[in-house]
Amino acid sequence: LSLTKLMVGSEGTLGVVTEATLRLLPPQPPRSTVVAVFPTSGGATDAVIAITNVMRPAMLEYMDAVAINAVEDWIRMGLDRTAAAMLIAQSDAEDTAVERELEVMRAACEACGAAEIFSTTDREEGELFVGARRAAIPAMERRGRLLLEDVGVPLPHLPALVEGVSRIGQEYGVEIAMIAHAGDGNTHPLLVYEPSDPTKSAATLAAFGEIMDLAIALDGTITGEHGVGRLKRPWLRDQVGDEVLEITRRVKLAFDPHGILNPGVIL
């Protein structure tokens, strides 16, 4: 039985890792970058699907207007504040193949209505835009406490998830920035949280729950990469169902009969 992934995803509930052997891979080739801004978020998510239908980009990241403006407020790098969404895509193809991959990505963005498309084979120039994406979380942290979501869906449902999260934000009056590892269908809505205001806190938690409900309704997951922990525990049953939850409980018992390993997490 392959226990590795079971242990890796167990959030400390099945054991303690005391030793790990890694297989190293050769270094990756340098990357080239396409950046595109869109007048609508749907155009950007359509472009994600158009790109991933024909190739596997080395990186394909999404930022919405809230995230773009938060980054621009913080580090002023000249991002387009009027854009609804921005994609940062990278290719690790080599030599002349890179130009063809960049062209595939540019063409997909253009066909999906991008307002502006920029591409570069210069590594450092590309890193500036990757840096903008990386700055999104610290930039949003300057606007308040963050509740960081981690919901993923099969790629065809990405547009519905992104649109739905925005609608949920409006309904509950919660500021949400949407950033995503879009090429994987894995999104991180960042909900701005106000711990001192009980009404707004409740609205934020309600929106947080609605987003998980939406991901589950779209055949997705409440935890793309971060885990269930304590906060998302109440939604796990809706995602996996009673039977899987019961098996999960029995697997936990098999590893940890006395319940001493990270109690209260996941189950």
Interaction site with a second copy (CB under 8 A): 1-6, 8-10, 13-14, 21, 23, 25-26, 52-56, 93-98, 100, 154, 244, 247-248, 250-255, 266
Closer to a second copy by Cβ: residue 64 or 101: 101
Closer to a second copy by Cβ: residue 203 or 228: 228
Sequence-distant (6+) residues with CB within 8 A of 228 are 11, 222, 236, 265, 266
Closer to a second copy by Cβ: residue 53 or 82: 53
CB of 76 to a second copy, least distance (A): 37
Instruction: Provide the b/e sequence for 137-156 (b: ≥16 CB within 10 Å).
Output: bebbeebbebbbbbbbbebe
Cα separation, 44 vs 88, whole angstroms: 10
CB of 161 to a second copy, least distance (A): 16
Tell which residue, 57, 60, 89, has the closest CA to residue 158.
60
Closer to a second copy by Cβ: residue 146 or 153: 153
CB of 89 to a second copy, least distance (A): 14
CB of 88 to a second copy, least distance (A): 20
C-alpha 145 chain-centroid distance: 18
Are 53 and 21 in contact by the 8 Å Cβ rule? The answer is no
CB of 14 to a second copy, least distance (A): 7
User: How is residue 220 annotated by DSSP?
Assistant: -
Closer to a second copy by Cβ: residue 144 or 227: 227
Sequence-distant (6+) residues with CB within 8 A of 259 are none
